[in-house]
Chain A
Amino acid sequence: MSAVAPSHAGPASARMLAAPRVRRPGRLLLAILVLLGMAPPAYLLQTGGALTTGYEIQKLERERTVWINRNQQLEVEIARARSLAWVEHEAVNRLGMQRAQNPVVVRVDAPVPPPAEPKLLRRGGEPMPAIPAEVGPSWLDAIDYIATALGRGN
């Protein structure tokens, strides 16, 4: 308790001038002890937090993969619904259409529109495998984390 600095100036200044070398090592030692004492729980706290986040990320990535896969399945369904086989099946079976016996082709001088087929299942929308988390924090990272936390506390 004697190592605690007085909150007021004046007479205390005189006391401090009288025995400065005795008190400073004590405070320093205490600070070191506090720091050392806080290091393991802080590290554990940070590691635990990172671990939880890691699992959370992994879970989200799994969910993301499921949704990407589902999206691709739907794209295949769309492509299937746009396939000529399906269109013909619908035209013949549902709409009762028949092939024209004498087709009449009228040619007009109009520019040919580009194919409006959307680029289904092309590159860009493909699922990526779950991206793994970074490598776990090192001791140096932990010390740096504690130092930063303490610095913020000051």
Chain B
Amino acid sequence: MVLEVDHLTKDFGSCRVVDDVSFGVSEGEIVALLGPNGAGKSTTIHMLLGLIDPTSGTIRMFGKSLQHHREEIFGKINMSSPYAGFPSRLTVLENLLVYARLYGVQNRQAKIRALLGLLGIDELEKRPMLQLSFGEIARVRLCKAFLNDPKLLLLDEALGGLDPYAATLAKEALMQLQRQHGTAILYTSHNMVDVEELCSRVVFLRRGRVIATGGPTEVTRAILREDRKRPALSEAFIRASRSEPHEVQ
């Protein structure tokens, strides 16, 4: 198991935002962490990245705790989050060169140019970040996330703001990374079509609790309480958002 999350709980004062969440991600698996706004997805990702401490519960990556093996683990994982920016005066290439050096990437320029080409933004190489659109910055974030050929990739709304062509390129790049390096991906998104297309398993959160888990079709069945042959996560998402958490558990 690449990632094991066990009884993870996070309280902010008296407000419990993540409540006894447990799940795992195996090598080469793409798992979606879904839920309405405020369900606790980003907080969970931030705890996985060691940015905030859990109130209780444990997180293990590659069988090790992040607290005691930080350098080793961060060398093998990467992330993309809309909360993470780049120095705005630096160009795309300069920003990626700095991150490539931090990850100890060999042949940095060639690697970066290959990734920029893969995501269709090779012409942006010399542009300062402050001149880029939201969607272009999202693609630069993905380039940064792919730099060290991670074994575990944490993607928080990584495809948000991308046009259909850019999103297709990004999904192809994700699949390529997963095939070539056996990368495990934990993916949060509000685009259910992307989730059905990419993810083999779904962990559905509502008000900080896991209300359904399994393949996209299983989660659809569990939430809609109907025998469905195909996944219908959009429908399930709306039903889950309207219901009280105990009604869909």
A and B from one assembly?
no
